[in-house]
Structure 1
Amino acid sequence: MTRSAPSIDVSVDAHETIASETAKRLPLETGGILLGYREKDNVVIAHALVVDGGGATKDRYVRDDVRANERLAEFLADRAEDDPIGYVGEWHSHPAPSGPSTIDRNAMRGAAKATDGSIALLVLTPGDIGGYFGIIAQRQRLGRVVMRDAYVTFPPPRFGQLGPLPDGAVRGDGPVFISYRQSDGTQQAESFENLLRAAGLVVWRDRVDLRPGTTTDRLEQALTDGLSAGVLVVTPDIADSEIVRERELPRLLQLDENPAFSLCIANKIPRQGSESKCDYDAPDRLLRLTPARTLADKKQANALDPQGELEIVRDLLMHRIEQRRPEIRAENRDFTIRVQSRPAPFAVDADDDDLHMRIKGATEGRLPTPEGLELLSRTLPLTGDAVFAAGAKRVRISGGAHLSIGLALGAVFPETKFGNVAVHDVQNNVWESTPASNDPGVTELNVEALAIEVAQPSNAANRVAVFATLTADPDLTAFERLVRESAHGFASVEIVSVTNSNRINPQEAGRLSQAVAQHVKHLSAEHGRAEVHFAFHGPFPMAVLVGRYLNTLRTICYEWDGDTINGPRYRPAIALEPGVAGGPITEVIL
């Protein structure tokens, strides 16, 4: 009678430890000891402990006996005296798909001679063509050792097999999905989220967009309900993420088969011996795809370098433009941007607008956050290039934001590069940069020089200050305080105001925005192209339109701070220099 082969039954906990450690240590071998109990001829593995080999290579692992005994003692110290779990064998990995070697078998034979009861050996080789190999060895009478190949069983995956993607799983105007391991990838995921939002892309993030319900069901819905792109953030701990490995990544790879979807890989795994260069083989290794090169053969960005982050933002922006450009040109329509710097963003923000810029706002107070302005300074040049690549004849902006952000937004769409910009206010009135033929001409500008009553430092000649107020009965207190308290002084100070007591008619926007900018440029030119300190007070659409014409100046843009304790003041927020590399925002001052 043929005797059936014994089995080694591996628990979920033990399997995850072995598989995860194998993935992390590739291309070297690794290993450790097995803990469990015996059932007749079979061995049940409840836990696996890792024991560093000290000198492991691609084809050899020798465990540290002293460290193994220490780890075993530590584990057993916390167990009850009648707990049946104890030492039942060894495990190690083979990077290449092969079973136990002659050396492995001889080592097991020696271990079995010194052990009461059967002991198991597990060898794991990674990848689809690999798997577990098992041996059970047992000492018989007169010291003879019987060694038999064993079946290796372990619980089925937590997730069932993926079905086909439903219709509509990819949508050109859908959100960008960020996949990451929370333990060490949250900070990087937040950085990508904020950068992508500032650039104009809508983002799906679990922390705000995962609705109540069964997590896996909601996640599956998010992954199949109209995404445009995905960012896979690869960090060391991603090897331990079952959600990413078994659910998010397979769906993202399915989606990436559609040309209308873009998958970006942000690699934060340093290459051995380098802190700045990434290991392009690491994503496949950590996500248990090796020896396949599923991710290594895709484009990866080095997320160890801040420029790698911007590379992904640029790629996803241009992907968005590629999806929208045929429609824009076929319909000869405007390129549309919605901008906000205050409300909290969500994935449901995705709508028909080509871009949806969300600048990270403050949790309290009126001022924009320095972090939000820094993000905008990094992404605004990319947004400007992307909009230009779309080839639209007019850019149409809606929403609202802080006035310094409006000035910066206008500066990235200068008159020399973009023919016409239109801004919609909250009542959906249109404010255009091109002077209107039906401009009623009611509102004119009044320019008044403000006397400087304090002694001016020697470098004051390089600076001028302008307060442009486009509302009736302006409060000059905060601006006068700016001039009075300036440590560097100003060569000249002007107030540009409107003569009409009524609100500006949007049809006057083109003429008035050009006139305001012309006064600012003229004052700067009179003082040798002096740096302009600009406090603007007026409708958000006018801030955007005025910003279009400040492309030849270095302009310090101020924000009004209604501090109830110290009194209202204007605080410098950003420096605009649209004509230099890295502009238009070259400095965040706030």
Structure 2
Amino acid sequence: MTRPPTHIELHIDAYETIASETANHLPRETGGILLGYQENGSIVATHAMVVEGRESTTNRYVRDDVRANDLLKEFLEQRSVDDPTGYIGEWHSHPFPSEPSPVDHAAMRAIAKGSSNSIALLVFAPGETDTFFGLIARRQRFGRATTKGATLSLPPARFAPLGPLPNGAVRGDGPVFISYRQTDGTAQADALEDLLRAAGLVVWRDHTDLRPGTTTDRLEQALTRGLSAGVLVVSPDIANSDIVRERELPRLLQLDANPDFSLCIANTIARAGEESKCDYDAPDRLLRLVPARTLADKKQSNMLQPSGELEIVRDLLMHRIEQRKPIIRAEERDFIIRVQSRPAASALDADKDDLHIRLRPSDDGRLPSRAGLELLRKTLPLTSDAVYAADARRVRISGGAHLSVALALGAALPETKLGKLVVIDTEGTEWASAAPDDDPQNTQLRTDPIQFQRDQTTPLKHRVAVFVTLTPQADQSAFKQLVHDSATGFDAAKLIAIRGTERIDPREAARLSADVAQQIKRFSASQGRAEVHLAFHGPYTMAVLIGRYLNTLRTTIYEWDGNSEDGARYRPVIVLEPGVANGPITDVLA
């Protein structure tokens, strides 16, 4: 005589289906059918199917029998003839931990009366412990059916238990960790990564910073060896990510218990019936934290609105400043910004710099990428505010970037907002905004009009072209071509250059940058406060310093393109208007 089963063994595929679908349907109950086989006194549940309920509420689930039969038929048709897997029972969820109800017992007895085999019921209640209750119903003699509680065995955990965080897991100058589900969260993670880097924050991303080795081991190292902040991107399919749910999120929550760490939640889940508003309960529901409100009680940014991404950037920038400000004051040092617009970025950029601006590199390497400049347009106002909030006596800029980026950075840090600024060249020499006592005054400026034919019968354009060249014997042909080929035309054009054949002494930087800016302003004023179209040729350091003085002008900035098919050309890339809201970059040009 076969021993009746008293035990239910749940396999991982069935477990994951039940847990994830329960999370997706909360706060309503859901359920479906169990598939598997009976063996040695156990009912083995290998698969679980979801059958949408006809009358599902927060405390009731009634499955659709027709749909259940169709799903069962489809499943069995795909199995081999000798496969023992078949229908073994039912499952459904309870929003809160509670054993099978009297209604559940009665329903299972009714099913068992029509079956020659014992029938299992699993009731799942999500939460910190993911509670399962088991019940087995079987037909007795004379058509009578009984139910009895069953013991349960759950699949082993995929990951070892987390231990406490080691010392140094939170580091003020560490990178920002982005946690996301690759299937539907990659685009949002990419967008946040690019914005954070453009604002001056270093980011850890799996596709660039995960070193070879076992994924979980490498993730554990990344999460415990010095992070400053984290961003959790909540997308619909995150419910199916074991790595996020069981590895990354628990560590991020541990880190967030430290006030020196900042956890941001990027919520992409729309509220039912309201596409522009996010569902603030969704993160806990999808990540199986309910009924606790672990994430619902934290600040969440609405990624369905354009402002959501910038809100996260602003929050993390200000968190960074909070961490760096005491150090800057204690050491009585400069606020340090490193900037790059050519090399690819990585988490290895994390160092003692207060901000490290990295723009997405261009494909050809000559002109700055339009996407990178768009990112800079969005983030420069935030970066400027963050630097101002640091209240440092002086700002120090190092690295290197395209000249348009340098001019824009200078415009974001004007003399009216920040007192002193120094730019470090590739040899480590300082080019300062404050004139030193030992300025040799060897270099002087000269200005010459650029002659071109203009139709005197047409109205003034209120546009002037300026070529600033701070290197000896610079080639003017590309600029003259710009003036002659302009489709919209200019009222006048001018050359601002250095006299002689010697290069600029860095000690002359303060005087010369102020003189160049003054010449540009005077030229614009002489043409009725005309819009300036500026082509700059000179040291990157001088571009930053000159940019600080462009706050009263609307300036279109050009970059030199030596790879053009029709010869070297100056191409317009950005428009600077530092004096308006959301400046200094107000437009990025194709």
TM bucket by the smaller chain? over 0.9
One-letter identity of the residue aligned with 2:392: A
Distance, in Å, in 1 between the alignment partners of 2:168 and 2:43 is: 48
Q: Which residue of 2 aligns with 1:245?
A: 245
Q: Distance in 2 between matches of 1:459 and 1:186?
A: 51
Letter aligned with residue 241 of structure 1: S
- Residue 120 of structure 2 corresponds to which residue in structure 1? 120
Looking at structure 1, the residues matched to 458 and 381 of structure 2 have their Cα atoms a distance apart, in angstroms, of: 35
SS of residue in 2 equivalent to 1:275? strand
1:228 aligns with 2:228: yes
User: CA contact under 8 A between 2:15 and 2:155: conserved in structure 1?
Assistant: no
Q: Residue in 1 aligned with 2:310?
A: 310
State the 1:337 CA deviation: 0.3
- Name the residue aligned to 1:546: 546
Matches of 1:275 and 1:169, distance apart in 2: 38
Partner SS for 1:586 = strand
Partner residue of 2:412? 412
> Could you say which residue in structure 2 is the equivalent of 1:104?
104
**Which 10-residue stretch deviates more, 68-77 or 416-425?**
68-77
Rounded to whole Å, the distance in 2 between the matches of 1:438 and 1:128 is: 68
**Secondary structure of the structure 2 residue equivalent to 1:92:** strand
Shift of 1:128: 2.5
Code of the residue aligned with 2:533 in structure 1: it is H
CA gap of 1:105–1:480, structure 2 versus 1, over 3 A, is same
Matched, 1:398 2:398: yes
* 2:173 and 2:350 in contact (8 A); partners too: yes
1:162 counterpart residue number:
162
Residues 102-161 of structure 1 show CA distances to partners (whole Å, capped at 9, x for unaligned) of 222222112112222111111111102651111111112221112111122111211111
What amino acid does structure 1 have at the position aligned with 2:308?
Answer: G
CA offset at residue 172 of structure 1?
A: 0.4
Deviations 1:345-387 (A, max 9, x none): 1101111111111011113241111111111111111110001
> Which amino acid letter does the alignment assign opposite residue 368 of structure 2?
P
What is the DSSP-based 3-state SS (H/G/I as helix, E as strand, rest coil) of the residue aligned with 1:534? strand
- Quick one: distance in 1 between partners of 2:131 and 2:101? 15
- Preserved contact between residue 465 and residue 490 of structure 2 (Cα < 8 Å): yes
How much identity, in percent, do the aligned residues show?
A: 65
Q: Distance in 2 between matches of 1:565 and 1:486?
A: 18
Give the counterpart letter for 2:583 in structure 1: G
Q: Distance in 1 between matches of 2:167 and 2:279?
A: 36
What is the DSSP-based 3-state SS (H/G/I as helix, E as strand, rest coil) of the residue aligned with 1:277?
A: strand
Which whole-Å CA distance do the structure 2 matches of 1:258 and 1:18 have between them?
34
Report if aligned partners of 2:5, 2:42 keep a CA contact under 8 Å in 1: no
In 2, the alpha carbon distance for the partners of 1:493 and 1:93 equals 76
Q: Note closer, same or farther for the CA distance 1:417–1:564 as it changes in structure 2 (3 Å cut).
A: closer
Confirm or deny that 1:453 pairs with 2:453.
yes
- Counterpart of 2:507? 507
Distance 2:397 2:181 in 1: 36
- Residue 448 of structure 2 aligns with an amino acid whose one-letter code is E
Query: 1:551 corresponds to which letter in structure 2?
Result: N
- How far did 1:500 drift? 2.4
What is the distance in 1 between the residues matched to 2:390 and 2:158?
44
1:47 equivalenced with 2:40 (yes/no): no
Deviations 1:530-579 (A, max 9, x none): 11111111111111000000001111111111124221111111111111
- What is the RMSD of the two structures over their aligned residues, measured on CA atoms? 1.5
User: Retained in 1: the 8 A contact 2:374–2:588?
Assistant: yes
Task: Name the CA distance, whole Å, in 2 between partners of 1:363 and 1:459.
Answer: 40
Task: Tell me by how many angstroms 1:176 deviates.
Answer: 0.4
Offset, 1:393: 0.9
Which residue matches 2:181? 181
Q: In 2, Cα distance between the equivalents of 1:585 and 1:338?
A: 19
Structure 1 residues 114, 531: closer, same or farther in 2, change over 3 A?
A: same
1:61 corresponding residue in structure 2: 61
Deviations 1:38-57 (A, max 9, x none): 12442100011111224421
Whether 1:29 aligns to 2:13 is no
> Residue 428 of structure 1 aligns with which residue?
428
Secondary structure, counterpart of 1:314 in structure 2: helix
Native 8 Å contact 2:407 2:547 kept in 1: yes
1:287 Cα shift?
Answer: 0.7
Is the 1:456–1:488 contact (alpha carbons within 8 Å) kept by the matching residues of 2?
A: no
Of residues 498-507 and 334-343 in structure 1, the stretch that sits farther from structure 2 once superposed is 498-507
SS in 2 for 1:276: strand
Letter in 2 for 1:331: E
* Alpha-carbon offset, residue 525 of structure 1: 1.0
- Tell me how far 1:459 sits from its aligned partner: 5.6
Specify the alignment match of 1:38 in structure 2.
38
Instruction: Find the counterpart in structure 1 of residue 136 from structure 2.
Output: 136
Q: TM-score, normalised by structure 2?
A: 0.97
User: Displacement of 1:526 after TM fit?
Assistant: 1.3
1:66-77 equivalences in 2 (<5 Å) = 66-77=66-77
Deviation at 1:449, TM superposition (A): 0.6
Which AA in structure 2 matches 1:409? L
Partner of 1:343: 343
CA distance in 2, matches of 1:406, 1:459: 34
Structure 1 residue identity aligned to 2:82: D
SS in 2 for 1:81: coil
Are 1:496 and 2:496 an aligned pair?
yes
**Residue deviations 1:487-515, cap 9 Å, x none?**
11111111111112122111111111111
Deviation at 1:473, TM superposition (A): 1.5
For the 8 Å contact 1:460–1:489, the answer to whether it is kept is no
Using the TM superposition, name which of 97-106 and 74-83 deviates more.
97-106
TM-score in terms of structure 1 length? 0.97
In structure 2, the residue corresponding to 1:177 is in which secondary structure? strand
Shift of 1:69: 1.6
Verify the 8 A CA contact 1:456 1:489 in the aligned structure 2.
no
**Correspondence 1:467 to 2:452:** no
Q: How does 1:471-482 map to 2 (within 5 A)?
A: 471-482=471-482
Letter in 2 for 1:408: A
Tell me whether 1:362 sits opposite 2:380 in the alignment: no
Q: Is the 8 A contact 2:200 2:357 kept in 1?
A: yes
Partners of 2:366 and 2:563 within 8 A in 1: no
Gaps of 5+ in 1: none
1:172 pairs with 2:172: yes
2:175 is the counterpart of 1:150: no
SS across alignment from 2:461: helix
Q: Which amino acid aligns with 1:119?
A: I
Aligned-partner residue type, residue 61 of structure 1: Y
Distance 1:33 1:122 in 2: 10
CA contact (8 A) 1:558 1:574 kept: yes
AA matched with 1:145 = A
| Per-residue deviation, 1:5 | 7.9
Using the alignment, how far apart are the partners of 1:159 and 1:586 within structure 2? 49
Maintained 8 Å contact 1:457/1:488: no
Residues paired across the two proteins, number = 588
Would you say 1:443 and 2:460 are equivalent positions? Answer: no
Distance 1:457 1:260 in 2: 66
Measure how far apart 1:456 and its partner are.
Answer: 6.7
CA displacement, residues 240-293 of structure 1 (integer Å, 9 cap, x when unaligned): 111111111111111111111111111111111111111111111111110111
The question of whether the paired residues in 1 share the 8 Å contact of 2:321 and 2:390 is answered with: yes
Equivalent AA in structure 1 for residue 19 of structure 2: A
Q: Which residue of 1 aligns with 2:82?
A: 82
Structure 1 counterpart of 2:125, one-letter code:
T
The 1:368–1:7 alpha-carbon spacing in structure 2 relative to 1, beyond 3 Å, is same
1:54 touches 1:62 (CA, 8 Å); kept in 2?
Answer: yes
- Once the two structures are overlaid, the 10-residue window that deviates more, 289-298 or 34-43, is 34-43
Distance 1:509 1:259 in 2: 42
Contact 2:169 2:226 in 1 (8 A): yes
Contact 2:203 2:347 in 1 (8 A): yes
Instruction: Assess, with a 3 A threshold, how the Cα gap between structure 1 residues 64 and 492 changes in structure 2: closer, same or farther.
Output: same
Distance in 1, matches of 2:295 and 2:266, equals 11
**Structure-2 residue corresponding to 1:571:** 571
Structure 2, unaligned runs of 5 or more: none
